[in-house]
Every structure is written in structure tokens, then in C-alpha cells.
Amino acid sequence: MLETPRHIVQQANAAPDLPSALAIAVSQIRDTLRVSACTIYLAGHDHREWVLVATAGLNPAAIGQARLSYQQGLVGLVAERQEPLSLQDARRHPRFQITPNAGEESCHAFMGVPLIQDRQTLGVLVIQDARIRQFETEERDFLVTIAARLIGILRRADLSGGAQDLLNPRAFGTRPLLGLAGAQGVAIGTITIPYQLTDLDDVPDRPTSDPVAEETSFRAAIAAIDEELRLASEQLAPLAPPTEQALFAAHRMLLHSDSLLDETSARIRAGSWGPAAWSAAVLARARLLEQTDDSYLRARAKDIRDLGRRVLGHLRGGAAQILAALPDRCVLLAQEMSVGQLAAVPPERLAAIVCLRGSTSSHVAILARAMGIPAVMNLGDQPISRFEGQDIIVDGYEGRVFVNPDSAVRAEYQQRLATEAELIAGLGKLRDLPAETLDGYRLPLYTKAGLLSDIPSASACGADGLGLYRTEFAFMIRESFPTEEEQFALYRQVLAAFFPQPVVIRTLDIGGDKSLPYFTINEANPFLGWRGIRFSLDQPGIFLTQLRALLRANAGLGNLRILFPMITTAQEIDEALRLLDQAYRDLAEDGQPAERPQVGVMIEVPSAAWQAAQLAGQVDFLSVGTNDLTQYLLAVDRDNARVARLYDNLHPAMLKMIAHVLAGGQHAGRPVNVSGEMATDPGAAVLLLGMGAASLNASPASLPRVKWAIRSVTRAQARRLAEQALALDTVNQIRQLINDVLRQVGLSEIVRETS
């Protein structure tokens, strides 16, 4: 054989677009296996037919034209059985059907291999030969290997609507792109790609009307970066190690590489604007290097990308310029979104967020819920660079978006927005009423926040206090660790905004999917790694700074409660309390006013849940973090969309574990709060009330609905629900039971939203 599957896919990967990638793949496969034809069929829209999308050996005019009905023919059979099929003479098989106008009349031997992703057949890869012969096992293995690799290429392309997207990539509008419902709500807005902070891959395609001016600014950006690098290397020369200095030299050489500059200029002259021309040239170069077998060259790909981002940043101008160009109703769209990107858009202009990766329990989704903006996650690979500036409807209930919606879809969603506004206006009346059951039991209902910009809406949503302030978000949007003074000012502001109501501030919980741009942690399993309190205890300097700032902020106010995240052992609590004592003593010695707060720990790990009674005895309160507890109990990565369907905080084992924690708290005489997203779901909130939670935390946007649900039941009804739910075996039965209760008490509106 001439080429290995890996080499073929590498060459296909370097192609500029999907049709060319598939064309390369089929022609290489045909030549390598020395067969008459190699063809790829992909599922058409709605899975009604198979469309021939690439061929080497059959009639090229059939590409995009030849179609086979879905359940017929040998292609349909391979897809249906989801396994390879090899025939000496296809024509003798009862399912044989000729592909119209494909020119396969002279073919006899046939082998088809399904292209499967997430249990679904996306397409079929076929080889055919004019001879009547049996394909060898070796040929079969070759085809199966290459099919698995082709899936990667298809996944990265824009194929949510099947073959149509390949043939007619702009056919969006009435057909939604499907993802996961990250934060409830509907928004209509304009797509904005925060690419200046992300990656070269996301730079939108835009034409230029003045290539000469565009090229001049491009050359100016190169000169400016060159000067920056020269200066930096000069300044660092006495300090930096030789390897660091060599890097500057390498970057400057790359910057002046003719191929990179010439290719960018050629693209600009062909009509592209500078940022897209530069990114395309950089990416083409980086991808080529990434696919080589040489580890030195692969490492250079990273240098090229770094340099690419640097020049791109320069081409885009400063933050003020970017901000001024933002549309009024921004829908941020990115592969993965950082908290910094979210925070960069003024809240009044941020309509929704859409991410190609991540899942409903990723922190960006949680932040969106906290901010009350709809979010759709895990849209899969999309050509987002083409989307910038287009209209979009984001449906955060169903987890779908419409790019460039047509008028009928738009009218339907405008109607939904109006209905939603009515419901919210109705709920507004509950703002100043307590979360009190029909029989007069008052449940403290707190809210949550993560950024300072959330505080006004959080303190105005009608909550009894702030049940969770996640300090890591403030750390994540900065360039370096905040100082004690900066933290003091921030915490003081948060405490003052809610005073005299209680405010629970959680110490730094980084790690997992929350990373600091200035403190990289590289781990194979970050969710099982250096997270939360583990990090803080190992970095006492950072931890003590935070504790000092918190104790000082509490002086004279006294409404602070400190919460430690990711506790797994009793010893961690002892150590954290010891450091808290030390911070207090140090402040006293320095003569700084400080006030000791109540202290609680989060129960987010099964080991802590099992030990709840003992841990509760060490502190003043417990707070169940259902987001992480679900992840660790069910062994489902909260950030992994592939297993998102398994992630459910209503899992019967979760209910039993929460019941165990509540019993532990009761045994130790300590209140147990519920803090994860589970408590923002009105039905689950009623269940938690019935199970005996002492208080709940809901995001500002969900709080009115949770309050409405609590105010619609008696405590006895909630207890009965809890008793019955704890006896059930599946999530579906539990969800069904909750919905039945909600309907009985007149909350059908909420059932409709959540089911």
C-alpha cells in the first residue's frame, strides 16, 4: 500500500475546506487500494436520503446530485446495520440498487463501511471494483481505520444538517442548529464573535473594499510586533535564560518569513480583510507543521499560533474600539467561552451566549444562568467565522439556535418573548414577599452571584441574602492574582450591597474547568486534580491573602459567612480553620479591624457526603454543591457534552445521598443549605424543601419561579413528594412525579418550561 490511513487523513486535514478534504481522501484511498472507485455518501437533511458527496472513479458530475433513498440499496443496508459489508459481486445482492447517473455500471465488488458518530450513522464510505473479487481483511481494516479518522474531519465541519450543509452551506434560517439548553430563556440578537480574545480559527470572513489600505495596516502591524519583540528581548537579555532569548529570535524570524507574509498579502489582494487573511495564512502553516511526524516541527506550530494571535490582537485595535463596534443585542458565539469574554460585554448589551463546546453544567452556562441570559451549549463544530454580524435566535429552553431566521420563525419567537415578558411581570409581584409555604413555613431563599456586575440584579431579585458568591470569577477576569486591598474592596462592596442580609462568600475554587489565565495548571484529569480547597491549602500565601481580605471586609458589618469548596476530608477543614485563625490573629497583631464570620463547607464530593455528620460538627453549616456532587457521584464529567444525557441531579442515588447529608446536618444540629443548580429548578426546589433543606440558593433569574413554587405548596405536600420520590428508581419517574405535583398545585406553566 502506498499510503497509511494516517497520512491520507493528514493530507485531507490540510485541505482548505471539507469538499476538498473528502476529494483528497477518496482519491488517495482509491489509489492506495487500487480499486476502481471510492465514494462517500452522507445523510441528507432529515435523514431521508443518502447523497453522494465525493467520489474518485465514479462520475464527478454525480457529486451533490446522485441520491439514494434512505432505507434502500447497499448504502442504506450498511448504515442500518452499522457494520462493514463486503460483497464479491454487489449486483447479485437483493438490496442492490444502482446509484442514478453515477456511472457505476461496470462495478462489481463492493465494500461499504459506516461513518458513525454518537451512535448515529452520518454516512457511508464505499469502495468498488470492476472485478468480481473478495476484498482482503487487510483492505477492510484499512477502510475501517480511515472511516474512524474521517469522522474527526466531518465533526469539525458544519454538518449539523447533513449533506445539505456541505453542498449548500448557507441554508440556515428555518432549520435550527441543535445544542444543549444551557440557560433558560429566549433572545433575538446579532452574532458577535469574541475572537480577539480567543483563537485564530474564529476570525470572521469579511471582504475589503480597499486592499491597499488593508495591506498597509497589515505591514504596519508586523513592524509594530517586530519592534515589540525586539524591545522585549533587549530588556530581558540580562535576566532571561538563553532558551527564552532564543524564542524571541525565533519569533522574529517567523514574523519575517516570506511565505507567511506573501500568503497574507495575496489573500488581501484577492479581497479579504487583513485579520482573516493573516489568520488563514498562519493556520495553514501551523496545521501543516502539526501533522508532521517531527516533534520539533510540531512544537514550532505552537510558536506560529502564538505569534499569529499577537499580530491579530494588534490588527484588531484596542478594547475601546472593539466595545464601540458591539451591536446593541450581542449574542456571543465562541468555541469555548471564557469568563473574561463574558465580562467584557456590558451586561445591558449581552443578549445571550452560544458555545460550540461545553455542557449545561459548565461554568459559563452557570454564569449565564446567574446573569439571567439564555445560553445554548455544545452546538458542535460550526463555521462560526461566517456567522459574525448575522441575526440569531437563541432558544435556551430547547437548546437550539436559528441563524438568519426567516420571518415565520422570527414571528413565532417574538410571540414567545412577549408571553415570557408577561410571566416575568406577573412574578415581579412576588419580589417583596417571602418564600413561604401555604401553611406559613418560611424557607430562607438566597441568591447567587459571581461577578461584581451581577450584584445589582442579585440584590434586587427579592432574595433573603446571597447564598453563594463565587470568588474565582473575579480572579479569572484579571491578569494576575488580585491583591489583598483589591479583594478587600470587592468583598466589602458585596457585603454592603446585601447588608444586613447574610452573604456567603466562597474561597477560591479554581481547577476543573475554571482556570486562571496567569496560573496554568496542566493535569490529565483536572476535575479530579488540584481544585478548590486543595489548591488553597497548598498555596497558603494566596489563601491567607484572601482570608485576610474577607475578615477585614466583615469588620463592622458582620454579615459574612465563609464557605470552603471541594472538601474531601475532615483534616482539610481543620487546616483551613487553622489558617483562618492565623489570618485573624495576624490582623489583630497588625491592629487591623476584622470580624470572625460563621464558617461552612461545601458537600460536593461523595466522601464528604458520607461523612456529613462529622464534618457538620466541625463548622457552622453545610452547603450541598449538587453540580459537583452529581458529577462525582455519577462519574459524569459535568463539562462533557457526550455524556451530558447521563448527568442528572434527580438521579435516585443523588436524592439518597442528599437525604444522607441532610440527616447528618440534623444529627450535628447544623443547617444544610443547597447551593447547586438543582435548587434553581422550581420542582426540585419543592422536593428539597420536603426533604428538609434549611435554605436554598437560586440564581436571580430563577428565584421568582422558585419562590412561586414554594408559595404554591404546603409543607406537607412537599414532604409527601420527597417521601414518594425517594422510593422511585429512575430519573424519569422522579421527574414525572414532580411534574404531577406542580400541575396539581397550578404550576403547569413551570412544567411546560422544564419538560
Q: Please, what's the b/e burial string for 720-731 (b: 16 or more CB within 10 A of its CB; e: otherwise)?
A: ebbebbbebeeb
Residue 496 grid coordinates? 454592603
Q: Are strands 503-506 and 560-564 parallel, antiparallel or unpaired?
A: parallel
State the binding partner of 739 from ligand PEP, Mg ion, none, CB within 5 to 8 A by kind: none
In this structure, what are the phi and psi dihedrals at residue 192, rounded to the nearest 5 degrees? -125, 130
165 or 628: whose CB is closer to ligand PEP?
628
- Cβ 363 to Mg ion, closest distance in Å? 9
Q: Are 374 and 187 in contact (CB under 8 A)?
A: yes
Q: What distance in Å separates the CA atoms of residue 297 and residue 84, rounded to the nearest whole number?
A: 37
- Cβ 625 to Mg ion, closest distance in Å? 4
Which residues are bridge partners to 187 per DSSP? Answer: 394
Q: What distance in Å separates the CA atoms of residue 355 and residue 194, rounded to the nearest whole number?
A: 11
Total residues at interface with Mg ion (CB under 5 A) = 3
Asked if 366 is part of the footprint of ligand PEP (rule: CB under 6 A), the reply reads yes
Q: What is the dihedral of CA 664, 670, 675, 676, to 10 degrees?
A: -10
Bond prior to 500 in cis (omega within 30° of 0): yes
Stretch that binds ligand PEP, among 195-203, 237-245, 267-275, 621-629 (CB under 6 A): 621-629
Longest dimension (CA), the chain: 94
3-state secondary structure at position 45: helix
Q: In the 8-state DSSP scheme, what is residue 515? A: -
Q: What distance in Å separates the CA atoms of residue 321 and residue 746, rounded to the nearest whole number?
A: 50
3-state secondary structure at position 602: strand
Stretch that binds ligand PEP, among 224-232, 333-341, 626-634, 724-732 (CB under 6 A): 626-634
Compose the 640-679 pattern: x for residues touching ligand PEP by CB under 6 A, - for all others. Answer: -----------------------------------xx---
Picking from 357, 269, 261, the residue whose alpha carbon sits closest to that of residue 304 is 261
Type of residue at 158:
D
State the binding partner of 626 from Mg ion, ligand PEP, none, CB within 5 to 8 A by kind: ligand PEP
175 or 470: whose CB is closer to ligand PEP?
470
- Residue from 625, 665, 700, 704 in contact with Mg ion (CB under 5 A): 625
Stretch that binds Mg ion, among 123-131, 169-177, 417-425, 617-625 (CB under 5 A): 617-625
Asked if 513 is part of the footprint of Mg ion (rule: CB under 5 A), the reply reads no
Asked if 702 is part of the footprint of ligand PEP (rule: CB under 6 A), the reply reads no
Q: Are 331 and 354 in contact (CB under 8 A)?
A: yes
- Residue from 357, 470, 492, 548 in contact with ligand PEP (CB under 6 A): 470
- Cβ 500 to ligand PEP, closest distance in Å? 24
- Cβ 339 to ligand PEP, closest distance in Å? 12
Stretch that binds ligand PEP, among 26-34, 228-236, 486-494, 619-627 (CB under 6 A): 619-627
State the binding partner of 202 from ligand PEP, Mg ion, none, CB within 5 to 8 A by kind: none
Query: Looking at beta carbons, which residue is closest to Mg ion?
Result: 628
- Residue from 202, 628, 639, 677 in contact with Mg ion (CB under 5 A): 628
Stretch that binds ligand PEP, among 121-129, 211-219, 428-436, 625-633 (CB under 6 A): 625-633
- Cβ 143 to ligand PEP, closest distance in Å? 44
- Residue from 99, 459, 568, 626 in contact with ligand PEP (CB under 6 A): 626
625 or 690: whose CB is closer to ligand PEP?
625
676 or 700: whose CB is closer to ligand PEP?
676
Q: How far is CA 125 from the centre of its chain?
A: 31
State the binding partner of 513 from Mg ion, ligand PEP, none, CB within 5 to 8 A by kind: none
Q: What distance in Å separates the CA atoms of residue 54 and residue 170, rounded to the nearest whole number?
A: 19
- Residue from 73, 189, 625, 700 in contact with ligand PEP (CB under 6 A): 625
Asked if 467 is part of the footprint of Mg ion (rule: CB under 5 A), the reply reads no
36 or 626: whose CB is closer to ligand PEP?
626
Q: What distance in Å separates the CA atoms of residue 390 and residue 382, rounded to the nearest whole number?
A: 14
- Cβ 520 to ligand PEP, closest distance in Å? 20
Stretch that binds Mg ion, among 57-65, 91-99, 394-402, 620-628 (CB under 5 A): 620-628
Residue with cell 461499504: 112
Q: How far is CA 730 from the centre of its chain?
A: 27
418 or 635: whose CB is closer to Mg ion?
635
Q: What distance in Å separates the CA atoms of residue 711 and residue 435, rounded to the nearest whole number?
A: 6
Stretch that binds Mg ion, among 148-156, 158-166, 377-385, 623-631 (CB under 5 A): 623-631
- Cβ 729 to ligand PEP, closest distance in Å? 24
104 or 509: whose CB is closer to ligand PEP?
509
State the binding partner of 366 from ligand PEP, Mg ion, none, CB within 5 to 8 A by kind: ligand PEP
- Cβ 472 to ligand PEP, closest distance in Å? 8
- Residue from 545, 627, 640, 699 in contact with ligand PEP (CB under 6 A): 627
Type of residue at 422:
E
Q: Are 369 and 681 in contact (CB under 8 A)?
A: no
In this structure, what are the phi and psi dihedrals at residue 465, rounded to the nearest 5 degrees? 155, -175
Asked if 604 is part of the footprint of Mg ion (rule: CB under 5 A), the reply reads yes
Q: What distance in Å separates the CA atoms of residue 340 and residue 197, rounded to the nearest whole number?
A: 9
Q: Are 699 and 183 in contact (CB under 8 A)?
A: no
State the binding partner of 264 from Mg ion, ligand PEP, none, CB within 5 to 8 A by kind: none
Stretch that binds ligand PEP, among 252-260, 403-411, 497-505, 624-632 (CB under 6 A): 624-632
Q: Are strands 186-192 and 391-395 parallel, antiparallel or unpaired?
A: antiparallel
Q: What distance in Å separates the CA atoms of residue 615 and residue 609, rounded to the nearest whole number?
A: 9
Whole-angstrom CA distances from 683 to 397, 443, 712, 728 are: 16, 15, 11, 16
Compose the 502-541 pattern: x for residues touching ligand PEP by CB under 6 A, - for all others. Answer: -------x--------------------------------
Positive or negative: CA dihedral 383, 389, 390, 391: positive
627 or 717: whose CB is closer to ligand PEP?
627
Q: What distance in Å separates the CA atoms of residue 370 and residue 680, rounded to the nearest whole number?
A: 10
In this structure, what are the phi and psi dihedrals at residue 122, rounded to the nearest 5 degrees? -85, -30
Type of residue at 118:
D
In this structure, what are the phi and psi dihedrals at residue 692, rounded to the nearest 5 degrees? 110, 15
Q: Are 703 and 447 in contact (CB under 8 A)?
A: yes
366 or 612: whose CB is closer to ligand PEP?
366
Write out the DSSP string of 388-410: TT-EEEEETTTTEEEES--HHHH
330 or 367: whose CB is closer to ligand PEP?
367
- Residue from 129, 263, 290, 604 in contact with ligand PEP (CB under 6 A): 604
Of all residues in the chain, what percent are helix, strand and coil, respectively (each to 5)?
A: 50, 15, 35
467 or 625: whose CB is closer to Mg ion?
625
Total residues at interface with ligand PEP (CB under 6 A) = 10
- Cβ 577 to Mg ion, closest distance in Å? 20
State the Rg of the chain over Cα: 29
Q: To 10 degrees, what angle do helices 626-634 and 652-668 make? A: 120
Q: Which residues bind ligand PEP (CB under 6 A)?
A: 366, 470, 509, 604, 625-628, 675-676
| Residue numbers at the binding site for Mg ion (CB under 5 A) | 604, 625, 628
